[in-house]
Structure 1
Amino acid sequence: MFSLVSGQGLAGDNVILTINGKMTGSSPLNLSRAKLEAIGGATIATTTPWHDGVITFEGVPLSKLMEKVGANGKTAFVVALNDYATEIPPSDFSDHGVILELKQNGRYVDVADKGPLFVIYPYDDKPELKSEVYFSRSAWRVRTITIE
């Protein structure tokens, strides 16, 4: 299980994601980029409606993150820094290999480029993912995930 992160210190130690709600252990759980990267990573190379050409996205598999925090709800409410909110069924995470992106084309992403966290589906892998349903679930500048 994770320990809480203070949000002080080096850039990699700053809190960039809070997870709360129905999960094992302490809630809320504040995670730094370093804590997220320690979970393990995955890569998706795909086109999106928000970028030109194929982009290589690297990040944490959301199924693995949810397992690590012991999430046990039926919905993940994702809220961005600009208060955009979307609901994602956790089954999407394992069924589609969704990641919480930290890097694009090998570099960390900042707020100006839709970072530091972006929900990414492998759109090019499955034609059904190229729809408004899945595009609307792809929040960028993610700040909070609440499991209900």
Structure 2
Amino acid sequence: MNSPAARLYLTLTALLLSTPLLAEQDWQSMPANPLLLTVSGELACCPGGSAYLDLPRLDSLPQTEVKTQTPWTDTTDSYSGVRLSELLKVLGAAGKTLTATAMNDYSTEFGIDTALQYPVILATRRNQQQMRIRDKGPIWIIYPLNDYPQLRKEEHHHAMVWQLKSLQISD
């Protein structure tokens, strides 16, 4: 057990188990801070239930920055948050379709495939500032429209839900 390979294996195992992303989290418990997002559907993390996320839980996941202009903004801004694909992976989501619902009950359905192919994020910050409800926050689905002009289509614009409150995963 003192071979270099065995030591490397033990070191990597310890690192993996100590990493918050890979450690088992209680996604099904209500967070200590205000609830921002509920994710439901077939989730390996939460058999028969939903995952509940507040800002600290979202911030504990790897963050991605996207600089883009949207159909609703006049400037190219910097948006940051967790990649949608990363959140789905961490929760162990199974399905092909997402239904995104906003605080005003606007709802739209779109395929998960685009979120897996492109760095679509659940933005919680715009230009390093936490987004408020009146500024399309606290969560806005952002597509990287500047980097991928092929995403500048009505179907993707409809999926850029702001004031996001829930995601439902289905087949």
Same fold (TM over 0.5): yes
Q: For the pair shown, which has the larger CA radius of gyration, 1 or 2?
A: 2
Partner of 1:89: 111
After TM superposition, the structure 1 = structure 2 runs for residues 1-148 of structure 1, keeping only pairs within 5 Å, are 1-3=24-26, 4-8=28-32, 13-26=33-46, 27-148=49-170
State the alpha-carbon separation in 1 of the partners of residues 146 and 125 from structure 2.
18
TM-score by length of 1: 0.92
In the alignment of these two chains, the number of paired residues is 144
TM-score (norm 2): 0.80
Give CA-to-partner distance per residue, 1:43-70, whole Å, 9 cap, x none. 0001111112101000110000000000
Structure 1 runs of 4+ with >2 Å offset: 4-8
Q: State the identity as a percent.
A: 30
Q: RMSD of the TM alignment (CA)?
A: 1.2
Instruction: Please say if residues 43 and 50 of structure 2, whose CA atoms lie closer than 8 Å, have aligned partners that are also in contact.
Output: no
Question: RCO (CA 8 Å, sep 6+): is it higher in 1 or 2?
Answer: 1
Deviation at 1:7, TM superposition (A): 4.6
**Separation in 1, partners of 2:83, 2:150:** 20
1:133 and 1:84 mapped to 2: Cα distance? 15
Displacement of 1:5: 4.1
In structure 1, the gaps of 5 or more residues are: none
CA separation in 1, counterparts of 2:29 and 2:124?
18
**In 2, distance between residues paired with 1:15 and 1:42?**
21
Distance verdict in 2 for CA 1:2–1:88, change over 3 Å: farther
